[in-house]
Each structure stands twice: as structure tokens, then as C-alpha cells.
Amino acid sequence: MEDNKLAKISLGINALLIIAVIVLFVKMPSGSAGNTDEIDSTLVEFVDDGQLTIAYYRSDTLSAKSDFVKEVQNQIEQVQVDAQNDMAAKEKEIQRWQKSWEDKGQLLPREQEVYMAEAQQKQMEIAQFEQDLNMKVGMEQENLMLALYQRLEKYAKSFCEKNEIDMLVSLQMGQNVIYMNPTLDVTKQFLNHVNKEYNSTFEGEMPEAGEEE
């Protein structure tokens, strides 16, 4: 009799377990093709406690993974490469001038005077050329950086408005901010937002500094 009683209890427990499994299976979210909802990777979940909402992003991560920051960096590097090519072309011009005199062989006194005058002129010319080139490179790179900051400010504004963030801080090693709570880190979402805005809206074209987009 005791064994029959235990068997009935065991059967009752098994039945309850089966029912529980069925209930859990019904309540589990379906992974079928009918579920087309996509998670917005630019959204941040904050607890609304009525206080100031502060978040931060890691600027080194943004610089390394943001499409538009990398594009500006490439443009800045290209400005330097173009300047080096211009300087190399100027140096070749001077070398051709030098060779034209060397091909004359022994110079007469009058020719030596002309050569020395031209050499002094060429020396002043290349010095001025280098000075102007450095100034041009500096201005172009400064304009690119200004355009970058303006674009980043616009992205930050739209990101904060979308997520109701009151203050977005750029966190970088060596700055005054040494530690911030990791729960305030929105680097991933901000990076997704920046790349989405840059690639879909502006199609990879950087505007000039101060230009309306």
C-alpha cells in the first residue's frame, strides 16, 4: 500500500512538472519569423528619478571606431601627404635649375655672378614656399578639426535629445575626470548613433567648417 501511495505521489509530481513546462513554453518569446521588431542600438535605458541625467562616452573608442572621425583623420593625413608632394616637386625644380648650371661646365666671371644671384633668389624662394606651405597645411587641418567638432556637437545634441540626457561628457585618459560609474557609459549607443547619422544622412561627405548641413 505504501508503495502504491508513493507511486501516485510521484505521478502527481510528474504531471505538475509537465504542466509547468507547458506553461513556460507558452510564455517564452517566440523566435519565429513573425517577430520583426528590431532593437534600436542607439537607445539608452535610464531610471527616471527626476534628477539630472549625466552620461559619458570614451573618446578613444569613438576615434577608433567612428566612421566620420576616421574619415576626418584620413583627410588630415592627406593634407600632409599633399604638402610633402608639393615640397618634393619644388625641390626637384631647384635641382633642375642646379643641373642646368652644372651642365655649363666652367663658368666665366660674369656667369658666376649671375649664378650666385640666382642661387640667392632660389634660396629665398624655397624658404618662402615652405613657409606658405606650412601655413596652408595648418589652416586646412584646423578647418577639418573645426568641422569635426561641429559635426560631433550636432550628433551629441540629437543623441541626448533622443535619450533625454542632460549632459554628455567625453571621457579620455589623462583628463581631469578620473572615474565615472560604468552604468553611465553610453559609448556603444553614442557610437552607433554617430555612425548611423553620418552614413545615412550625409553619405560620408564632410562639410566645410561653419557650413550649414
d(CA 144, CA 141): 5
Closest CA to 72 of 194, 160, 212, 200: 194
Structure-block grid coordinates of residue 91? 625641390
d(CA 26, CA 213): 50
Map residue 188 onto helix, strand or coil: helix
Least-confidence region, from 22-26, 34-38, 136-140: 22-26
d(CA 129, CA 108): 31
In Å, how far are 9, 86, 171, 181 from 163, measured between CA atoms? 55, 47, 19, 18
Give pLDDT tens digits for 102-135: 888 888 888 889 989 999 999 999 999 999 999 9
The per-residue pLDDT of the chain, averaged, comes to: 79
31, pLDDT greater than 90: no
DSSP states along 110-124: HHHHHHHHHHHHHHH
Q: What are phi and psi of 18, to 5 degrees?
A: -65, -45
Give pLDDT tens digits for 153-169: 999 999 999 999 999 99
Instruction: With beta carbons less than 8 A apart as the criterion, state whether 181 and 69 touch.
Output: no
The residues, ordered by sequence, that sit 6+ positions from 148 with a Cβ below 8 Å of its Cβ are 68, 69, 72, 206
d(CA 39, CA 53): 22
pLDDT (0 to 100) of residue 201: 60
